[in-house]
């Protein structure tokens, strides 16, 4: 089935200039080269006013909606008025509109600062909504958007695409990978069914907690595998291309180890984490840390 992506862009007079044209151009280029490019149609609306959103929903019938512009937190997203000046639209107003199209819209991406409040409201009606928990820089916003739509274009589901977008921010060496947040519709199916929490943990989140990741990070540092001279070899052994890691040149062993474990966890790469455990087992097989390592391996179901 062909999915239509509707991009709504607004950068009103008197607001900070954003690189919206670059963001949209890179999204379009990524979809054009995607292996499933025939399954996506990209529609663009610029200098968007509230009335333009209504008409676009009726005329275009999108399955994915992407807002690119400014957000102001609880006050709303920034669109334009008839004179090109800023016009705020709050989350409840947007949620009310999108609820009318809930049977066709699968995902909404709010790629603007402090848009999590609107995401919370809209997610009461739409299956997947992505918002930003705080301010996000131009570069991070573009990296996330490109990664997200590259993954969709490759046939990946929304949850994977969201994680891929976050990983793209990290790979670019930008420390904003935790800013995008994924919200899910709180009801699964009919409204008579019991609610499902908005923020369901990923499978890997359920297996490895913060303490487990701290153990892996500490052991990686102690093993010497996080030293600068050993980093590329480690990456190759666990199946990661070193040149793709923007944090490979972190100045300290601790910083690199933390970034690597966090990155593998964020993209759900259990195989690479298990390979790290195998590397560490060689060093700590009979040491006092062996029980901690066995516990992590058990949670990951490593062979």
pLDDT of residue 247: 76
Nearest to 234 by CA among 212, 256, 211, 204: 256
User: Taking the CA atoms of the chain, what radius of gyration do you get in angstroms?
Assistant: 21
CB atoms within 10 A of CB 157: 11
* Predicted local confidence at residue 194, as pLDDT: 36
CATH code, 3-184: 3.40.50.1460
Q: How far is CA 84 from CA 40, 113, 192, in A?
A: 30, 20, 44
What the block records as the tokens of 202 is 């990923």
Q: What pLDDT, in 10s, does the model give residues 153-199?
A: 999 999 899 999 999 998 998 988 889 999 988 744 433 333 333 33
The predicted pLDDT at position 206 comes to 54
pLDDT of residue 199: 38
How far is it, in rounded angstroms, from Cα 186 to Cα 270? 28
Percent share of the chain, pLDDT over 90: 64
| Neighbour-count burial of 15, counting CB atoms closer than 10 A to its CB (0-12 exposed, 13-18 middle, 19+ buried) | middle
Among 115, 110, 24, 12, smallest CA distance to 67 is for 110
Global pTM exceeds 0.75: no
Phi, psi of 284 (to 5 degrees): -110, 25
Q: Which residues fall within 8 angstroms of residue 29, CB to CB, at 6 or more apart?
A: none
- Burial code (b: 16+ CB inside 10 Å, e: under 16) for 238-273 equals bebeeeebbbbebeebeebbbbbbebbbbbbbbebb
pLDDT of residue 240: 87
Tens of pLDDT, residues 128-147 = 999 999 999 999 999 999 99
Contact 98, 126 (CB under 8 A): yes
The per-residue pLDDT string of the chain (303 residues; one tens digit each, 9 = 90 and over) reads 899 999 999 999 999 999 999 999 999 999 999 989 999 999 999 999 999 999 999 999 999 999 999 999 999 999 999 999 999 999 999 999 999 999 999 999 999 999 999 999 999 999 999 999 999 999 999 999 999 999 999 999 998 999 999 999 989 989 888 899 999 887 444 333 333 333 333 455 556 777 888 889 889 999 999 999 999 999 999 998 887 777 787 668 888 888 888 888 877 788 999 999 999 988 887 767 788 888 899 888 887
For the chain, the domains span 3-184, 203-300
Could you tell me which residues are beta bridge partners of residue 132?
Answer: 180
> Could you give the strand order of the β-sheet that contains 64-68, starting from the edge strand earlier in sequence?
40-45, 3-9, 64-68, 107-111, 128-132, 180-184
């Amino acid at each position: 089935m062909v999915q239509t992506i509707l991009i709504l862009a607004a950068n009103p007079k008197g607001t900070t200039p954003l690189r919206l044209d670059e963001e949209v151009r890179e999204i379009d280029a990524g979809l054009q080269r995607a292996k499933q490019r025939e399954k996506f149609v990209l529609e663009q609306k610029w200098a968007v006013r509230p009335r333009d959103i209504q008409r676009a929903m009726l005329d275009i019938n999108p399955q994915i909606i992407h807002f690119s512009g400014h957000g102001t937190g609880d006050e709303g997203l920034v669109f334009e008025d008839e004179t090109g000046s800023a016009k705020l639209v709050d989350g409840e107003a947007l949620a009310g509109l999108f609820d009318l199209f809930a049977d066709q819209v699968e995902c909404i991406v709010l790629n603007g600062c402090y848009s999590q409040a609107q995401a919370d409201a809209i997610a009461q009606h739409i299956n997947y909504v992505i918002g930003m928990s705080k301010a996000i820089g131009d570069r991070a916003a573009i990296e996330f958007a490109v990664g997200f739509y590259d993954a969709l274009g490759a046939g990946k589901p929304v949850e994977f695409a969201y994680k891929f977008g976050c990983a793209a921010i990290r790979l670019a060496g930008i420390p904003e990978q935790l800013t995008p947040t994924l919200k899910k519709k709180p009801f699964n199916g009919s409204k008579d069914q019991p609610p499902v929490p908005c923020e369901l943990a990923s499978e890997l989140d359920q297996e490895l907690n913060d303490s487990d990741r701290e153990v892996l990070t500490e052991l990686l540092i102690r093993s010497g595998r996080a030293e600068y001279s050993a980093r590329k070899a480690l990456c190759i052994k666990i199946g990661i291309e070193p040149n793709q890691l923007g944090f490979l040149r972190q100045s300290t062993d601790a910083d690199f180890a933390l970034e690597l474990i966090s990155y593998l966890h964020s993209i759900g790469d259990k195989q690479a984490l298990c390979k790290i455990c195998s590397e560490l087992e060689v060093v700590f097989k009979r040491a006092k840390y062996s029980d901690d390592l066995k516990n992590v391996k058990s949670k990951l179901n490593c062979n």
